[in-house]
């Protein structure tokens, strides 16, 4: 690897102030502080299993609710990953993973193609995990896909425990992303596309 694939992105609005640093070829180190305990736990898992080094700082309007903080964090992490990928040349591009967690099984497929698309087939039987609204997981991944140039499909095949369902979504996304961002030396830096560019 002759060039470090890393990026820093900041985004400040009237609702959130977020900074993200990402190194794609890392060791899975995470330094996360969003003010939302369970979300921090999930982002730590995202870093650990993708082997990306990830630093996230988010100050949001949590006195209103968690929506802006979660969605905007997805936006900035997605932007940082896309920035670190540059022209997306030489990467494996596709990745998928099945993650079992006890009674739960989740499948994720990713195409890093610069044409964002998002499919979410996940149901939670509870409205909250800890203090976090379960509907916000969809918002996070939708923002991640849209800003990261990802075609991202997430499907919980079966499961009962909402903690397991959420965590398996993050771990499966991480593992699929780990494959997709990997450099394939046989491509010689060229995009994995018949078009010649992504």
Counting DSSP H helices and E strands in the chain, the numbers are 4, 10
- 180 within a domain of the structure (yes/no): yes
Count other Cβ atoms within 10 Å, centred on residue 7.
Answer: 18
- Reference 182, options 120, 94, 64, 118; nearest CA is 94
By residue range, what is the domain housing residue 150? 6-187
> Can you list the residues of the chain whose pLDDT is less than 70?
1-2
Token pair listed for 12: 């400040």
Give the Cα separation of 14 and 154 in Å (integer).
Answer: 31
Residue 2 has what pLDDT? 53
Token pair listed for 185: 């030396």
pLDDT tens profile 34-65 = 999 999 999 999 999 999 999 999 999 999 99
- 38 within a domain of the structure (yes/no): yes
CB 8 within 8 A of CB 20: yes
Length of the chain: 198
Sheet holding 117-121, edge to edge: 94-101, 104-112, 150-158, 117-121
CATH number at residue 75: 3.30.230.40
| 62 phi and psi angles, rounded to 5 deg | -70, -15
- 194 within a domain of the structure (yes/no): no
- 198 within a domain of the structure (yes/no): no
Question: Going by C-beta distance under 8 Å and a sequence separation of 6 or more, which residues neighbour residue 63?
Answer: none
Report the domain count for the chain. 1
- 197 within a domain of the structure (yes/no): no
Count other Cβ atoms within 10 Å, centred on residue 192.
Answer: 19
Residue 194 has what pLDDT? 83
Residue 193 has what pLDDT? 87
Residue 147 has what pLDDT? 98
Say whether pTM exceeds 0.85.
yes
What is each CA distance from 124 to 24, 104, 112, in whole angstroms?
31, 12, 27
Question: Going by C-beta distance under 8 Å and a sequence separation of 6 or more, which residues neighbour residue 109?
Answer: 94, 95, 96, 152, 153, 176
Residue 198 has what pLDDT? 79
């Amino acid at each position: 690897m002759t060039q470090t694939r890393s990026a820093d992105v900041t985004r400040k609005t009237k609702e959130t102030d977020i900074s993200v640093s990402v190194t794609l070829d890392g060791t899975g180190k995470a330094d996360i502080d969003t003010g939302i305990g369970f979300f921090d736990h999930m982002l730590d898992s995202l870093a650990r299993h993708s082997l990306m080094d990830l630093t996230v700082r988010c100050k949001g309007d949590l006195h209103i609710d968690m929506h802006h903080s979660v969605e905007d964090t997805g936006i900035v992490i997605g932007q940082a990953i896309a920035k670190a990928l540059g022209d997306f040349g030489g990467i494996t591009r596709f990745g998928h993973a099945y993650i079992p967690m006890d009674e739960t099984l989740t499948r994720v497929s990713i195409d890093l193609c610069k044409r964002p698309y998002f499919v979410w087939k996940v149901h939670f039987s509870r409205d909250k995990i800890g203090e976090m609204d379960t509907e916000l997981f969809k918002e996070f991944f939708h923002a991640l896909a849209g800003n990261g140039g990802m075609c991202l499909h997430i499907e919980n095949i079966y499961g009962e425990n909402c903690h397991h369902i959420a965590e398996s979504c993050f771990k499966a996304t991480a593992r699929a992303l780990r494959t997709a961002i990997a450099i394939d030396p046989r491509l010689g830096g060229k995009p994995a596309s018949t078009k010649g560019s992504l």
